[in-house]
Amino acid sequence: MVDRNRKKKGWTALIAAAVTLSTVLSACSGGKEPASASNAPSDGDPITISFETSVYAEEPHKKAIDALIAKYNETHPNVTIKVHGTDYENYWDKLTTEILAGTQGDIVQVYPENIATYNALQSGGTFVNLDEKIQASGLEDKLVGQELSKVDGSYYALSNYAWGSTGIFYSKSMFEAAGIDPASIQTMDDFKEAAIQLGGVKDGQYGFSSVIGTHPFIASEWYRLLARPVSGGIYFPDGEAGPYEADRINVNSAPNVWAAEWWQDLIKNPQATPPGTRDKKVSREMFWNGQAGMMMDGPWFIGMTKERDEALMDDLGLMPQPSVVYEGQTYKPNPHNYPIVSMISKDSKHPDEAWEFLEWMTSREAQQIIAGSGMIPSSKEYAESEEYKTENPLAAQFFDFQENVYAPAVMDPPIPELGSLSQILINAAQEMFVGMKDAKTALDSAAEQMKDTMH
């Protein structure tokens, strides 16, 4: 599975230039209107719908999507659905180029924070406003993450595929050997104590396989576990809410500085975390190899573990992200919710047929197929069902965390400048957690750079 961090260097500058170009063009054009349903072929006529996604390169998703299309074709044999895209790393550059050329897919899968950026690339908007269709479908409150699919108060995507959040996976055998009860880990301070205790059992063993290096996770693990719960936002306050203006940059707020200093104290402990430069792949390998007792990941890690070695499943435990105690107050964790959402291009010749397929994907038979992707199906009803819980007991815990343990998820701000802001944050994290630079100095500098970006 891909790492769920959507901050990519390569497409930041390209998107910024594209948005500028789109703004210039909008002065000369009234924008494109949604394709008319009257132009669509009648029932039974052969049509082709292109489906663009970043996850098809991953085998579990490929199997799930191929099975979805095969099942849909049993009742819609006239509809050919062609899947295209590329590996996750290159998907976003490719999508930007296609949108500017008007060659994007009829259906485009993204994450909620990508909607505003890519919708802005065409004058008048790239994608179809789905308000009427979603409200008429009765799905508005039945899909996990649907509320995140709005731009300026309107829906531009349907959360019809799957989602994931994050938690703490742990080795049952290592916890037992260290004499640690996982239920005793309620706060991040408990987590730190457990990490140090796990690492003290024997040489070459560590408590938590964090990512310390050039990978974007060097920033995201810190702010998802610590900073955002206490500050309300790493970029903007109040849950990353607008207005998104320079004077509301929040990265160097007192809670975020405190969280960075706390994280520095954790990762410099030689028992708590392993030394050296690593990425997420290496941290997972350390966990599987018994070198680390805990790691942070999402439900896709369950399938990855089973594929790596099914025998490892007996030793795989899962707990929610701990709460954070700051200045005497306890803050619930508020990790990202990662729904993969689907949009319909305004350039599509078959928008109604594309919608019909997307709506069918929310059905029980489709959600059963989607469960094979390794993520959690978007239908709340199906994810809560005894059938799903019985077949996917570990993954079902994430749904319980989301509903009963975690505070509402705090998502990245849905603005075109997000790519630039996230790269500034990654650079600051590398200074703090690799170079051990003073946290306040690094975050003050990051704040100034972010303000310049917003200006």
Least confident of 89-103, 173-187, 271-285, 340-354: 271-285
Res 77: pLDDT: 96
* Residue 20 forms part of a structural domain: yes
Q: Across-strand partners of 239?
A: none
* CB-based contacts of 112, cutoff 8 Å, min separation 6: 145, 148, 149, 157, 339, 341, 411, 414
CA distance 17 to 2: 27
* Residue 3 forms part of a structural domain: no
Give the pair of three-digit tokens for residue 371.
């469960």
What tens digit of pLDDT does each residue of 132-161 get?
Answer: 999 999 999 999 989 989 988 999 999 999
Question: What is the 8-class DSSP label of residue 236?
Answer: S
Query: Do 26 and 67 have their domain in common?
Result: yes
* CB-based contacts of 254, cutoff 8 Å, min separation 6: none
Query: Do 428 and 312 have their domain in common?
Result: yes
Give the domain CATH number at 304. 3.40.190.10
Query: Do 264 and 302 have their domain in common?
Result: yes
Report angle CA 32, 417, 428 to the nearest 5 degrees.
160
Whole-Å CA distances, 50 to 108, 216, 350, 426: 9, 31, 10, 35
Query: Do 324 and 446 have their domain in common?
Result: yes
Query: Do 399 and 294 have their domain in common?
Result: no
CA distance 101 to 386: 46
Res 275: pLDDT: 79
Burial of 206 (0-12, 13-18, 19+ CB in 10 A): buried
Query: Do 224 and 256 have their domain in common?
Result: yes
Query: Do 342 and 324 have their domain in common?
Result: no
Res 11: pLDDT: 45
* Residue 411 forms part of a structural domain: no
What tens digit of pLDDT does each residue of 248-295 get?
Answer: 999 999 999 999 999 999 999 999 998 765 788 889 999 999 999 999
Q: Which residue has the tokens 């900073």?
A: 227
CA distance 140 to 114: 20
What is the residue-wise DSSP string for 34-51?
Answer: PPPGGGSPPTTS-EEEEE
Query: Do 255 and 370 have their domain in common?
Result: no
DSSP three-state, residue 439 = helix
The answer on pLDDT for 70 being more than 80 is: yes
Q: How many domains does the chain have?
A: 2
What tens digit of pLDDT does each residue of 177-220 get?
Answer: 999 999 999 999 999 999 999 998 888 899 999 988 777 788 99
Query: Do 348 and 390 have their domain in common?
Result: yes
* Residue 59 forms part of a structural domain: yes
Amino acid at 16: A
CA distance 73 to 336: 34
How many C-beta atoms lie closer than 10 Å to residue 46's C-beta? 9
* Residue 379 forms part of a structural domain: yes
The parent domain of residue 31 ranges over: 9-164+338-405
Residue 336: pLDDT band by 50, 70, 90 thresholds? confident
CA distance 149 to 140: 10
Question: Could you tell me where the beta strands, DSSP code E, fall in 95-230?
Answer: 107-110, 150-151, 154-155, 162-163, 167-171, 206-208
Which residue, among 217, 208, 210, has the nearest Cα to 425 in the 3D structure? 217
CA distance 158 to 260: 36
* CB-based contacts of 191, cutoff 8 Å, min separation 6: 168, 185, 208, 294, 322
Query: Do 285 and 200 have their domain in common?
Result: yes
- Strand 324-326 and strand 329-331: the pairing is antiparallel
| pTM, entire model | 0.79
Determine contact, residues 333/229, Cβ cutoff 8 Å: yes
* Residue 141 forms part of a structural domain: yes
| Signed CA dihedral, 267, 273, 279, 281: sign only | negative
Q: Across-strand partners of 324?
A: 331
* Residue 194 forms part of a structural domain: yes
* Residue 2 forms part of a structural domain: no
Query: Do 173 and 156 have their domain in common?
Result: no
Query: Do 444 and 299 have their domain in common?
Result: yes
